[in-house]
Structure 1
Amino acid sequence: MDYQDSLFSDQQRKQLLLNPYLGVGNFLQFTAPMYPADCQHSLLTDLETVICEGEAIQSLSVHSLAILAGRWAKWYRDKGVKSAEPVAVYCDDGLNYIIHFVALTLIGAIPVLTNGKMPIEVAAAHFNNIAVRLVISDADRCRKLKKGLNAGIDVLNLARVPLGTEVLERAHYYVHSARSPVMITHSSGTTGLPKAVTLHHEQWFHGIRELLKKPHAKGLEKYLNALPTSHNSSIAFLIHCILSGSQIMLAAKRDGKSVADLIETYAPSTVVAFPQTYVELALNHADDRNFSSVNTWINSGDAAHEVHIKKLVKHDYHFRGSKKIAGSQFVDGLGSSEMGHISFHIIHTPYTSNYGRCVGFPQHWVHAKAFLNDGREVESGEVGMLGVKSPSITPGYWNNSSLTYKSRIGDYWLTGDMVSIDKDGRVFHLDRISDVIDTEAGRCYSLLTEEFILAGIAGLEECTVVGIPSSLNSVYSIPVALVVCSDKATTEKDLLQAINQHLSDKGLPCVAEVRKVTHHDIPKGITGKVLKRTLRQQWGSPVKLAAKTKSTA
């Protein structure tokens, strides 16, 4: 069966939309019966997943997902796990995260899905903070994790669990209300210990429900998911695909080469990833690999850079209605775990030109404002802290009411971003609050500076701007640009002159230093975000900067 023929009809989607009880915590209960008994595998992965003692799988149909989750749900219930108890899942990427997410929500417990690349000592502190009931993991992580966990938190190796064949009886399914917690996800941890973000049954489903209201776009029958499979955005895309009848492949590895290989072998119509994957695809693979199946690239998390987007959309095709148009489309979204869904998005094609860190307009259910520190709203076009009011916003941080309230101004959630909103309502994402550089000449917004450097200076593959104290006792910092340059003959002095001329032409503050580095010199977090906090520690004083300058001279 061609998967294009498996997409749910408008009538089936309407049936789901009319269900007032449907939400994240019970989506599979209502959707699985709509699939034919002989439906193909809907969830695939390129690496075999060990799911319990003696069992390993590489794909699941919707019905087999329901059965396997039902088996684990019964095991959890027999183990004594109760509703509203947090249970952590911490393992390699694969199918286990969606299996345990469904299993735990079947009994009303709260999945704490945690990226397997999170350092074990950080994960242990995260689980202690949440006070999880137990942790489901694998052998290597189990041994090391036990040493850092509080007394009473059990750790179980999923490969040693003799899972029974019986499934949880329907009479024991938990009945979710709108505010039932259905997941505790975590921030990327780029600014410190990961924050435990709470997601609710109805709140988290809001964005997915809005997608269901839209008619099926042509060419969206096969997805390649290159997000971490533990991430709430990954779970949301899986739910969306199951509610739509689409097939989805979960990439076990998210580096550019691995994803490029999967695009060629799996031939997806849509690719979903975080920005770093697109950076690697654009720089190393866009021009010499076969991406002809892809009509849509969806970016989740931080906004992507113009120079990388243009390398991807110049190839292949996309649809406008039923009309096929040359060049693929790049859906650039700004969202976070706290926003619950991509709250701002813009579509780029070879024929569009809204760049310069423009993330488009808020979704129609989202209200956005920019605020000063004292809570006043800034004037149109001025820079302020982004506040979002939306039904999809998190209710807060688990076990941290102080941080929850500090993250709000009235009804608006502060996202941690600096933005400007023009008179037409377009939002421009300038920086993370923690990365803004206060210089003697004024504020330097590092992401905006990087955007214009990459777009205006030929031969640069990557650019990261960080603030270094201008002197040992100064309150001001100097912007330093760390660049990866494909032309080895270009000197740092020449780059500094060209970059600052370009920034001056754009009316932006200049950088004080340019340092040529390699991709490996720019540290990335578990979701691919640049760890600027780490860079500030590495380059964080004039003494260190001088030493590095001397060593690279």
Structure 2
Amino acid sequence: MYAWGNEIERDIITETVNGLSIPTYESRPVNLPNTLQTSALLHPERVALVCGDTRITYEDFYRRVLTIATYLHDECNFQRGERIAIILKNTAEFCIMTYAALFAGLIVVPISTKLRPNEMAVLLNDAKVNGIVIDSDEQAQALSALLIIKARFFYQSSVMSNFGVEYQDFSPLPQLSTHDPAFIMYTSGTTGNPKGVVLSHFNAIHGAINYERCYGLTSADKTIIAVPIFHGTGLMAQLVTFVYLGGTIVLLETFNAHQMLELSEKEQITHTICVPTIYNLLMQVPNYSNYNLTYRVLGTGGAPISQKLFQNIKNWLPNAELLNTYGLTEATSPALMTPKEMARHKIGSIGIASPVIECRIIDIDEGGPVKTGQPGEILLKGALITSGYWNNETATRETIVDGWLHTGDVGWMDDDGFVYLCDRIKNMINRGGEKIYSIEVEDVISSHPEVLEVAAVGVADELYGEVVKAVVIPVHGNTLKAEDIISWASERLAKFKVPRFVEFRDSLPRNAAGKVVKSSLRE
């Protein structure tokens, strides 16, 4: 089994947490406020946040956070453990309010700005939030009519003025335990109502240390957040990690490929982490290769990266490490990660267990262990795993068994411990008893030179129960026919895996995390 090495795995000890013996990092901050406090002390003049024309140093970031935290605690009378929702795009205000709430002892509930008011209200009511940070009075009025809880509204426009509060001698704020909840992160909810994943300061800090060590990040690095910051990747892998590091965070309010390239060049960005689709879109920008980019470490996640896309990125950015990473909300983002020295050798793998995670694969039907190379459900255990779902003991018991998180993802492990993702259990295609993993079909079709993206789903069939349908996004300007795709697949896949139907579209439906919503394709 491949190992991370002594330098990355230094000071790992075994601790008992919630009755479980798990590996942890012995040298770590107690809580997330400690990370900002330390970065402001060590790097006061370094730019922490860049958003449009706004540039905020760590010293200013820290003072603004303390001022607003004191306001929330003293003037608004928020109590430790109460919830505050933040419904903002990738802005400096999001970052300031997140850390101010954490300093005040509150639990932050990031809400997708892409949801409709009625969808937001479901989450706000479920979390029983006491405060809501929002960008407009119009949105506040729409939500007020749908809330069954009493919550105070705060407006984005008031954040940079510290809600009118002057800098002062700050009064004592609540002392936080490392295991206090820091966030309630709602799952994407492509089926049924989303569940609120409770993540502690302990979880988030271990995630940040994982990224620091396994990606080789330092305080000198600069990241650009192009994915939604209210999602786990933007929040945990970038905001929380870079505040812990004391690095610079550049915020792209909404994704724009041209703007991302321009900002990356201007700000000399060294790091980002995105879904594979974003890298594809960057390479669709005219003259994309003419930008003078300084990327050093690139992460990819949310979906396995194809060999074709991996090679295209390496041809474009030969000096950048490209590391596949696997996580889910319940595992605080970086559960499996790819060591740099193995990235080229294990293209298609989602990595090995990160230093404070254990991974096993079990039989989907029987629950027992599977042989090397045999697909099964991916289970995870360790310092990154949630303690459970907010106010939902039934879902917690079903998903976390004896400390093991049942991910709902199907994968297999090779002799070196590298895991390869096959599918979501609910997305597996059953054609007359033959199990078909959509990722295998997608990998083959995406290797076609005229295919930009593809999603494979199962659709109803009277004879076989289900057959394969491929939804294809052609490379811009190319004209493909269904028989081109079927012929390509027929030469590379067993007959029962070849798509019966092919549909061409301009784009694929995605949730806030950038993942394809396959249920809408099946419909």
Alignment correspondent of 2:467: 478
Are 1:314 and 1:350, in contact at CA under 8 Å, matched by a contact in 2? no
Q: TM-score, normalised by structure 1?
A: 0.82
Alignment correspondent of 1:294: 295
Amino acid at match of 1:117: K
Q: Which moved further from structure 2: 304-313 or 281-290?
A: 281-290
Aligned with 1:511 (options 492, 495, 499): 499
Aligned with 2:516 (options 530, 538, 541): 530
C-alpha displacement at 1:211, in angstroms? Answer: 4.6
Alignment correspondent of 1:94: 91
Q: How many Å separate the matches in 1 of 2:478 and 2:222?
A: 41
Q: How many Å separate the matches in 1 of 2:180 and 2:217?
A: 32
Tell me: CA distance 1:175–1:168, structure 2 relative to 1, closer, same or farther (3 Å).
farther
C-alpha displacement at 1:475, in angstroms? Answer: 7.8
C-alpha displacement at 1:353, in angstroms? Answer: 4.3
Amino acid at match of 2:504: K
Alignment correspondent of 1:8: none
Alignment correspondent of 2:12: none
Alignment correspondent of 2:483: 493
Matched, 1:440 2:453: no
* Per-residue Cα deviation, 1:444-463 (whole angstroms, up to 9, x for no partner): 111232122212x2211111
Where do residues 158-197 of structure 1 align in structure 2 (5 Å cutoff)?
Answer: 158-159=156-157, 163-166=163-166, 170-197=170-197
C-alpha displacement at 1:180, in angstroms? Answer: 0.4
SS of match in other structure, 2:194: coil
SS of match in other structure, 2:37: helix
Matched, 1:397 2:389: yes
Amino acid at match of 1:44: V
Aligned with 1:136 (options 128, 133, 157): 133
* Per-residue Cα deviation, 1:77-130 (whole angstroms, up to 9, x for no partner): 211211001110112321122211111111211111122222322111011111
Q: TM-score, normalised by structure 2?
A: 0.87
Matched, 1:80 2:92: no
Tell me: CA distance 1:87–1:438, structure 2 relative to 1, closer, same or farther (3 Å).
same
Where do residues 89-488 of structure 1 align in structure 2 (5 Å cutoff)?
Answer: 89-139=86-136, 140-159=138-157, 163-166=163-166, 170-212=170-212, 221-236=221-236, 237-284=238-285, 288-318=289-319, 328-346=320-338, 352-355=344-347, 357-371=348-362, 372-440=364-432, 442-455=434-447, 457-471=448-462, 476-486=465-475, 488=478
Amino acid at match of 2:235: I
More contact order relative to length (CA 8 Å, sep ≥ 6): 2
Q: How many Å separate the matches in 1 of 2:407 and 2:270?
A: 31
C-alpha displacement at 1:348, in angstroms? Answer: 7.3
Alignment correspondent of 1:44: 50
C-alpha displacement at 1:240, in angstroms? Answer: 2.7
Q: How many Å separate the matches in 2 of 1:106 and 1:219?
A: 22
Tell me: CA distance 1:385–1:134, structure 2 relative to 1, closer, same or farther (3 Å).
same
Amino acid at match of 2:34: N
Are 1:184 and 1:198, in contact at CA under 8 Å, matched by a contact in 2? yes
Q: How many Å separate the matches in 1 of 2:454 and 2:276?
A: 14
Tell me: CA distance 1:35–1:113, structure 2 relative to 1, closer, same or farther (3 Å).
same
Tell me: CA distance 1:447–1:346, structure 2 relative to 1, closer, same or farther (3 Å).
same
Tell me: CA distance 1:116–1:348, structure 2 relative to 1, closer, same or farther (3 Å).
same
Alignment correspondent of 1:551: none
Q: How many Å separate the matches in 2 of 1:431 and 1:351?
A: 21
Are 1:74 and 1:166, in contact at CA under 8 Å, matched by a contact in 2? no
Q: How many Å separate the matches in 2 of 1:89 and 1:219?
A: 27
Q: How many Å separate the matches in 2 of 1:373 and 1:303?
A: 24
Are 1:113 and 1:185, in contact at CA under 8 Å, matched by a contact in 2? yes
Q: How many Å separate the matches in 1 of 2:261 and 2:510?
A: 20
Q: Which moved further from structure 2: 334-343 or 249-258?
A: 249-258
SS of match in other structure, 1:311: helix
Tell me: CA distance 1:300–1:389, structure 2 relative to 1, closer, same or farther (3 Å).
same
Tell me: CA distance 1:489–1:536, structure 2 relative to 1, closer, same or farther (3 Å).
closer
Amino acid at match of 2:32: V
Q: How many Å separate the matches in 1 of 2:28 and 2:408?
A: 33
Q: How many Å separate the matches in 2 of 1:137 and 1:334?
A: 31
SS of match in other structure, 2:330: coil
SS of match in other structure, 1:228: coil
Alignment correspondent of 2:34: 26
Identity of aligned residues (%): 20
Are 1:483 and 1:515, in contact at CA under 8 Å, matched by a contact in 2? yes
SS of match in other structure, 2:356: coil
C-alpha displacement at 1:152, in angstroms? Answer: 2.0
SS of match in other structure, 1:234: helix
Q: How many Å separate the matches in 1 of 2:42 and 2:97?
A: 22
C-alpha displacement at 1:304, in angstroms? Answer: 2.6
C-alpha displacement at 1:30, in angstroms? Answer: 3.2
SS of match in other structure, 2:497: coil
Q: How many Å separate the matches in 1 of 2:359 and 2:247?
A: 32
C-alpha displacement at 1:299, in angstroms? Answer: 1.8
Q: How many Å separate the matches in 2 of 1:460 and 1:213?
A: 36
Amino acid at match of 1:113: P
Tell me: CA distance 1:388–1:291, structure 2 relative to 1, closer, same or farther (3 Å).
farther
SS of match in other structure, 1:185: strand
Count of aligned pairs: 493
C-alpha displacement at 1:270, in angstroms? Answer: 1.7
Are 2:486 and 2:498, in contact at CA under 8 Å, matched by a contact in 1? no
SS of match in other structure, 2:141: helix
C-alpha displacement at 1:407, in angstroms? Answer: 0.6
Amino acid at match of 1:184: I
Q: How many Å separate the matches in 2 of 1:432 and 1:203?
A: 24
Unaligned ranges ≥5, structure 1: 1-16, 49-57, 319-327, 538-553
C-alpha displacement at 1:190, in angstroms? Answer: 2.8
Amino acid at match of 1:479: V
* Per-residue Cα deviation, 1:301-352 (whole angstroms, up to 9, x for no partner): 333333222211112443xxxxxxxxx2211111111111311122679992
C-alpha displacement at 1:132, in angstroms? Answer: 0.9
Alignment correspondent of 1:52: none
Unaligned ranges ≥5, structure 2: 1-24
Tell me: CA distance 1:458–1:276, structure 2 relative to 1, closer, same or farther (3 Å).
closer
SS of match in other structure, 2:492: helix
Tell me: CA distance 1:497–1:316, structure 2 relative to 1, closer, same or farther (3 Å).
closer
SS of match in other structure, 2:132: strand
Alignment correspondent of 1:69: 65
